[in-house]
Structure 1
């Protein structure tokens, strides 16, 4: 069985006390999932709130992280192909299933976006949640509509 390193939280508390690097099995994608070889991920307030006990729906132990970028490695969906640069964000990451603070994660194919870019991983790692927040603020919270052709 292949293994990976991941940051695991098993209880609430300060990061120095509760975030532990552990060896876990590499997840195996189920139907309509993509296995991502993670190259970078962002750090978000959401993970801090989880550590502080404000995310009541999370069951421990859990790999934190609500976003990740990397390479599509194995998939049960035609959403992307091996070695595509991909991003994923939210959609249950760190809540319903393990998140991005790991070498690998499996996420639903519906929340994987293939990215054609030459940006370095350290820049890409911070983009998924930031872009999701901006998009949500403009098109969902403000209810603005996109205008095509102008």
Structure 2
């Protein structure tokens, strides 16, 4: 089969022929139609991820048809249109993943290929209203956004939500889901164009985080503080999120692209009775509920660009530069 292979740190992806994987007992083989990029792929290429091994086929998100089944797998899965939950071996504790938890695309070969083999339990029927490219945009970002919003922050209809750094896949999927359940959503970005696009997707409004004293300006415009704040940056800007949070608010973050959080005035947290929550990926139940929410509300994830598999290296550079609004998709099978 054809696959994009990463041979080492800072090496470009190489499209080449590799052996087609066969499903082990309990697994299915999926003939992939489309895959989607995540920042995780860029970090692995740069050597900024734990458990590196080479050569490796990157890619955590994918959608396609079940093309073969392993021993003890229901034969009725053959030919079904599916999307893949990239989280594997979560474990028995729904509160946190087990030490054995892994994500498709490292250490196991991922979805930047014509075929991939995964446990049968992690494939789920593709929502019929979505194309394969749209379905491929959902898995990692969707389950991350769902768990952050609903499992961890317990978002309720009517609450006011702030999503920082809108434009990336997780942030946009969180925006769509929060709007769908009746929350009032506001956003931040460094790009006025991205804020305008977020408003077109249902956000009430937004502000540039480059604006001087933006927390005060945004809370005035929104009519008060935010009940839920969703962030992936952390870093020095985290203190601003404490300022925009309403009393009793939940601040949940699923990443730290801006690095460590500097000294935080504790009174801002205890006097406002804030909850600071971490979140990573999600359980199989989180994943199923996320897909069901997209089906119920007929949501369609935002796609930035669809490129052929051979353009995987170009796609990674676009993601690295932060130019995208929505998911970058690799079309594998027309």
TM-score, normalised via structure 2 length: 0.39
**Structure 1 residues 21-100: aligned runs within 5 Å:** 21-76=15-70, 77-78=73-74, 81-91=77-87, 92-100=103-111
Of 117, 133, 137 in structure 1, the residue corresponding to residue 128 of structure 2 is 117
* Cα RMSD after superposing both structures: 1.9
Structure-2 change in CA distance of 1:54 and 1:38 (3 Å): same
Gapped runs of 5+ residues in structure 2?
A: 88-102, 157-334
8 A Cα contact 1:80 1:114, kept in partner: no
Note the C-alpha offset of 1:129. Answer: 2.0
Of 102, 112, 115 in structure 1, the residue corresponding to residue 113 of structure 2 is 102
Distance between the aligned counterparts of 2:48 and 2:77, measured in 1?
A: 37
Structure with greater contact order relative to length (CA < 8 Å, sep ≥ 6): 1
1:22-59 deviation per Cα after TM superposition (whole angstroms, max 9, x unaligned):
10111000011110000001111010010111112021
Note the C-alpha offset of 1:143. Answer: 5.1
Distance between the aligned counterparts of 2:134 and 2:154, measured in 1?
A: 29
For residue 62 of structure 1, give the secondary structure of its aligned residue in structure 2: coil
Structure-2 change in CA distance of 1:110 and 1:122 (3 Å): same
User: Which residue is equivalent to 1:133?
Assistant: 144
8 A Cα contact 2:65 2:79, kept in partner: yes
Structure-2 change in CA distance of 1:80 and 1:143 (3 Å): farther
Q: Larger % of helix: which?
A: 2
Tell me the number of residue pairs that the alignment of Structure 1 and Structure 2 aligns: 139
8 A Cα contact 2:34 2:63, kept in partner: yes
Note the C-alpha offset of 1:5. Answer: 0.3
Q: Please identify runs of 4+ aligned residues in structure 1 that moved more than 4 A.
A: none
Structure-2 change in CA distance of 1:138 and 1:98 (3 Å): same
TM-score, normalised via structure 1 length: 0.84
For residue 144 of structure 2, give the secondary structure of its aligned residue in structure 1: helix
Of 5, 8, 27 in structure 2, the residue corresponding to residue 8 of structure 1 is 5
User: Which residue is equivalent to 1:148?
Assistant: none
Q: Which has the larger radius of gyration?
A: 2
Gapped runs of 5+ residues in structure 1?
A: 146-150
Distance between the aligned counterparts of 1:79 and 1:113, measured in 2?
A: 15
8 A Cα contact 1:72 1:80, kept in partner: no
